[in-house]
A and B are shown apart, each in its own frame.
Chain A
Amino acid sequence: GQQVMQIPQYQHVQEGEDFTTYCNSSTTLSNIQWYKQRPGGHPVFLIQLVKSGEVKKQKRLTFQFGEAKKNSSLHITATQTTDVGTYFCAGLSISNFGNEKLTFGTGTRLTIIP
């Protein structure tokens, strides 16, 4: 079945440093979504990318969707303590019957050293 891998699994950065997590799917995706989960919390939607090669920005966060629609990245500039959490990419696949399925990546846990 479809697999979505993320690297790195963990990332510790000094506050103010940049952070990047990479997401790779074994199959072509309809779209890619990114979620953030704080410790003890539930996933919160960040963004959705649909088009091949799409780039979207949200303040210090930059999201990219690969040309082949099989990989994606999230880059955070000048991290802050509020960025702590686990970042998941999630690939959307839609079957011929219209059934949708979101396959979550393995996640990257970000910790910030003040």
Chain B
Amino acid sequence: GAVVSQHPSRVICKSGTSVKIECRSLDFQATTMFWYRQFPKQSLMLMATSNEGSKATYEQGVEKDKFLINHASLTLSTLTVTSAHPEDSSFYICSARDHGTGSYEQYFGPGTRLTVT
């Protein structure tokens, strides 16, 4: 089945620094990738939709200048959390859709746990 990887799986950074998270589709091309965040014991909240070769579409309330998304190729999307603060600590999960299947199933990466100290 389709596999999506994320790197790093866990990161601790100091307040004010920036962190880049990579999301890769390993065995399929992903025109569209999605970025979610999940707080402990809560549901997944869509942050933005990443489209290859174009600007990401951000959900209401998500700051585009703080959460920079780049989808430069059909297999890689990156999320950069700029000037991170403790309230940005969360579980960030990406997903990708294989448009070749015709299904709307999303394949999720293993997630990145960000802790900002």
Contact = CB atoms under 8 A, between A and B. Distances in A.
Interface of A: 1, 30-31, 33, 35, 41-45, 48, 88, 92, 99-107, 109
A104 B104 contact: no
The A interface, classified by DSSP as helix, strand, loop or mixed, is strand
28 contacts: A1-B60, A30-B104, A33-B104, A42-B93, A42-B108, A42-B109, A42-B111, A43-B93, A44-B108, A45-B105, A45-B108, A48-B104, A48-B105, A92-B104, A99-B49, A99-B57, A100-B97, A100-B104, A101-B49, A102-B34, A102-B46, A103-B46, A104-B36, A104-B43, A104-B46, A105-B43, A107-B42, A107-B43
A42 B110 contact: yes
Interface string B80-107: 0000000000000101010000011111
B32 interface: yes
Q: Which has the most chain A C-beta neighbours within 10 Å: B41, B97, B104? A: B104
B103 A48 contact: yes
